[in-house]
């Protein structure tokens, strides 16, 4: 048919949903990931009409729906026909062309004829799939029963199993979707890592001699501390900054008095040491898992890691002194990757890491990123379907994992891997160059940082400074509210490491969902609209002053800026300034006058601040737009709520208008304006952000090179024209379509696709 794209969509009548099942021409990674309701798009129109749909210019059609994953903006003409009859519709077959083309009746007849042949194939495939699902469900149940029996014993990790008979053919090829925690591609045989002992397997057992049990627990605690220290030394040789800091955090959990006290209480009540430990670890892990902050939620992994480690010593199960021998170029497959797991393998032999659970900010994921090991987390059910030695592809960019991939998929990823290596090499070449457009306009590129260990990334990726230092993450690791001296020591370490580069320190952004235990706090039905951020600081004024004094003392001879979160009114910032002035006066009276050059700024992240932007900006020296909360509040969308998460849309016209209003207000008042939300680190939005006039972008360090490359390839005059056009559109679809068209016209689309 002389077309550029041919795609098959499978139709589920129960959910009235169409899913991309196969394609030649569209990105292969979108197969199984793109779906739409029958009321959406031109493909859905085929279902509604129960007949062919023809469009000479699909982009202009009223039913056209833009899916970023499909990259369809370069295809114009469209022809699609149903597969099956109206009473038993199986799918839709579609072809597309780059050039504008008028499909004729003969084209429709030919495609309909092909669809008839496909219908027979799909009927057989559906029947085969149903039979295989039933057999695999029975096989899964058998495996779970065997696994449950094995877990009651102390078994060794990664026991290989033979593939079942129904997995010997092409249907054994599996695909999992997770989250990319460390970018890149990894291809190699699976090395399945299972825990030596499990907290979930510990029975509830009582004892008559609690003193002896307490002694056993104390010995296991000391052995665990020693073991962590040894692992810390090994990892410091590989990644000195990150490795040492992360294992020190693990040691702090083991030595935490509240943990050992709770276990002692359970032992005193008559429980065996193992039972007491399992109960307390479960209690602590559940507390973290209930938190909404992703970073804090993932500390549950560290708590369970500590519990597993202590339990192993209680049971007398020894850990290997040296890293476990694994196959060269292996892909590590685990249920949940802990720091203990990391210390039992040789990272130099790993081509990738894949886990069933966990998140992108777990300590193990941070280590993997430091060692540049592609990592995917959150692939549910992976271990039940993956055998020791299976071929595995882990795509850390898209979060996709293939087990026993076909030769076509394997060849495509080998090609993509080579392209990715070359792409990273290009980014490395511009690490020390400024983010300057072709016509000489410079944009500051800064890093978002929450922990000391992340400073290593600031240097690696060429950040000009720290645009957001989240102080609350460090506070949460203390057993009590850190004193002024403890805070002073922490800030000095950061300032010294930055060696004169600017640092923006945000005061505590605590919320009801992430209170440190020592603050007590109270439960709130809606913590994001409750007692949080600057509201906490203004109420706990003495603690607020301690933080301000520590920042001022640490930054006496440095380029330090202070930023206040969640400001909603002029009254709040004026009260903040009054407290700040009192701190300055107190320090001066004590003979420690702070620098007069400290700039004060605010986070613009609530609609009230946007509406009063002209008044608020006159009260401060700079502003920074926090898009994560701003989008959530403007659109009334909780992006952690899966049911409505797709409605969390950074390119909503209201969001773009809000950003524009803040920038205009700041520049009218002669103030600098930056952005430190997730939008800043996504190259898809860079054209708009530069064009609308942002002076500074602060992001996760790893995103700096690709954003810099895009900025260095455009003219600010062009970006301004595009931003002005985008502000005139009324719908998200129009905005996305125009943005992708502009990226394609200026040869930037491949850069954005490489990032995503």
Q: What is the chain's percent helix, strand, coil content, to nearest 5?
A: 50, 15, 30
Q: How far apart are CA 484 and CA 73, in angstroms?
A: 56
639's enclosing H/E stretch is: none
Of residues 307, 345, 312, the one with CA closest to residue 329: 345
Helices 484-498 and 541-554 pack at an angle, to 10 degrees, of: 30
> Which position among 192, 553, 676, 742 bears the catalytic label?
676
- Using an 8 Å Cβ cutoff, are 247 and 452 in contact? no
Q: Which helix (H) or strand (E) holds 357?
A: none
> For helices 363-370 and 240-255, what crossing angle results, to 10°?
160
**236, exposed or middle or buried, with CB in 10 Å at 0-12, 13-18, 19+?**
middle
- C-alpha–C-alpha distance, residues 161 and 468, integer Å: 48
Which member of 363, 386, 652, 742 is catalytic? 363
Residues 401, 175 contacting (CB under 8 angstroms): yes
SS3 661: helix
Q: Are 13 and 85 within 8 A, CB to CB?
A: no
Nearest to 546 by CA among 478, 497, 447: 478
Residue 511 backbone zone (phi > 0: left; psi -120 to 50: alpha; other: beta): beta
Q: Which two tokens stand for residue 384?
A: 């039940």
Torsion over CA: 428, 433, 436, 438 (sign): negative
Q: How far is CA 729 from CA 57, 652, 654, 724, 736, in A?
A: 20, 10, 10, 10, 10
Q: Is 363 a catalytic residue?
A: yes
Strand 466-470 to 444-449 pairing: parallel
Q: 356, 398, 377: which is closest to 29 by C-alpha?
A: 398
Dist CA 304 CA 323 (whole Å): 21
The span from the CA of 403 to the CA of 395, in Å, is 12
Q: How many CB atoms lie within 10 A of CB 267?
A: 24
Contact (CB, 8 A) for 756 and 684:
yes
Edge-first strand order for the sheet with 77-85 is 35-37, 17-24, 5-12, 88-97, 77-85, 53-55
Tokens matching residue 336: 């949940």
Residue for token pair 């403007």: 634
d(CA 723, CA 721): 6
| Intra-chain end-to-end CA distance of the chain, in Å | 32
Q: Tokens standing for 92?
A: 């839709």
Q: At a CB cut-off of 8 Å and minimum separation 6, what does 523 contact?
A: 512
Contact 565, 506 (CB under 8 A): yes
Contacting residues for 593 by C-beta, under 8 A, at least 6 apart:
584, 587
Handedness of CA 550, 555, 556, 560 (dihedral sign): negative
Joined tokens for residue 189 = 């045989």
Residues 658 and 610: beta-carbon distance below 8 Å: yes
Active site residues: 363, 676
């Amino acid at each position: 048919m002389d077309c550029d794209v041919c795609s098959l969509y499978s139709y589920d009548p129960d959910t009235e949903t169409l899913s991309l099942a196969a394609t030649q021409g569209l990105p292969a990674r979108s197969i199984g990931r793109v779906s739409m309701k029958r009321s959406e798009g031109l493909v859905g129109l085929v279902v509604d009409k129960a007949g062919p749909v023809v469009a000479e210019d699909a982009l202009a059609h009223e039913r056209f729906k833009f899916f970023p994953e499909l990259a369809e903006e370069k295809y114009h003409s469209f022809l699609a026909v149903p597969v099956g009859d109206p009473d038993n519709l199986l799918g839709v077959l579609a072809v597309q062309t780059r050039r504008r083309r008028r499909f004729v009746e003969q084209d429709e007849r030919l495609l309909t004829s092909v669809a008839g042949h496909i219908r027979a194939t799909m009927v057989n495939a559906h029947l085969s799939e149903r039979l295989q699902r039933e057999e695999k469900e029975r096989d899964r149940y058998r495996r779970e029963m065997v696994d449950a029996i094995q877990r009651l014993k102390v078994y060794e990790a990664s026991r290989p199993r033979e593939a079942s008979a129904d997995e010997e053919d092409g249907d054994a090829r599996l695909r999992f979707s997770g989250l990319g925690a460390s970018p890149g591609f990894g291809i190699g045989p699976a090395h399945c890592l299972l825990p030596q002992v499990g907290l979930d397997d510990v029975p509830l057992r009582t004892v008559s001699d609690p003193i002896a049990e307490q002694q056993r627990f104390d010995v296991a605690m000391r052995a665990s501390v020693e073991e962590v220290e040894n692992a810390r030394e090994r990892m410091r040789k590989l990644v000195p900054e990150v490795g040492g800091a992360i294992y020190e955090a693990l040691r702090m959990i083991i030595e935490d008095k509240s943990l050992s006290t709770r276990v002692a209480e359970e032992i005193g009540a008559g429980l065996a040491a193992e039972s007491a430990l399992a109960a307390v670890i479960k209690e602590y892990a559940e507390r973290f898992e209930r938190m909404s902050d992703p970073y804090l939620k993932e500390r549950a992994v560290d708590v369970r890691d500590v519990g597993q480690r202590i339990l192993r010593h209680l049971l007398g199960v020894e850990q290997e002194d040296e890293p476990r021998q694994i196959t060269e170029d292996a892909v590590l497959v685990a249920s949940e990757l802990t720091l203990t797991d990391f210390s039992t393998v040789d990272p130099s032999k790993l081509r990738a890491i894949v886990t069933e659970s966990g998140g992108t900010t777990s300590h193990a994921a941070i280590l993997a990123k430091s060692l540049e090991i592609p990592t995917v987390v959150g692939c549910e059910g992976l271990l039940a379907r993956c055998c020791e030695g299976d071929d595995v592809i882990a795509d850390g960019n898209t979060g996709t994992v293939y087990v026993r991939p076909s030769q076509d998929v394997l060849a495509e990823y080998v090609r993509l891997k080579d392209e990715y290596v070359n792409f990273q090499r290009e980014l490395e070449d511009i690490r020390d160059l400024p983010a300057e457009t072709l016509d000489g306009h410079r944009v500051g590129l800064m890093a978002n940082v929450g922990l000391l260990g992340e400073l290593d990334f600031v240097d690696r990726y060429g950040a000009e400074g720290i645009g957001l230092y989240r102080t609350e993450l460090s506070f949460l690791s203390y057993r009590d509210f850190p004193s002024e001296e403890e805070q002073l020591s922490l800030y000095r370490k950061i300032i010294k490491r930055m060696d004169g580069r600017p640092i923006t320190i945000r005061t505590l952004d605590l919320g009801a969902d992430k209170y440190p235990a020592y603050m007590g706090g109270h439960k709130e039905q809606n913590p994001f609209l409750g007692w949080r951020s600057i509201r906490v600081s203004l109420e706990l004024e003495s603690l607020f002053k301690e933080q301000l004094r520590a920042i001022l003392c640490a930054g006496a001879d440095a380029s330090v800026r202070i930023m206040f979160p969640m400001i909603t009114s002029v009254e709040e910032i004026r009260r903040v300034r009054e407290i700040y002035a009192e701190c300055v006066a107190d320090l001066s009276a004590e003979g420690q006058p702070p620098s007069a050059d400290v700039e004060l700024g605010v986070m613009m992240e609530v609609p009230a601040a946007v509406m009063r932007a002209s008044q608020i900006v006159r009260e401060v020296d700079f502003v920074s737009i926090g898009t994560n909360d701003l989008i959530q509040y403007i659109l009334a969308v909780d992006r952690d709520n899966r049911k409505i998460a797709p409605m969390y849309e950074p390119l909503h016209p209201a969001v773009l208008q809000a950003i524009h209003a803040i920038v205009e207000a700041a520049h009218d008042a002669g103030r600098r304006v930056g952005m430190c939300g997730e939008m800043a680190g996504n190259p898809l939005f860079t054209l708009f952000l530069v064009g609308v006039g942002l002076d500074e972008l602060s992001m996760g360090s790893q995103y700096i090179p690709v954003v810099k490359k895009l900025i260095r390839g455009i003219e600010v005059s062009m970006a301004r024209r595009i931003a002005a056009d985008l502000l005139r559109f009324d719908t998200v679809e129009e905005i996305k379509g125009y943005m992708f068209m502009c990226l394609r016209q200026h040869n930037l689309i491949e850069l954005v696709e490489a990032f995503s």
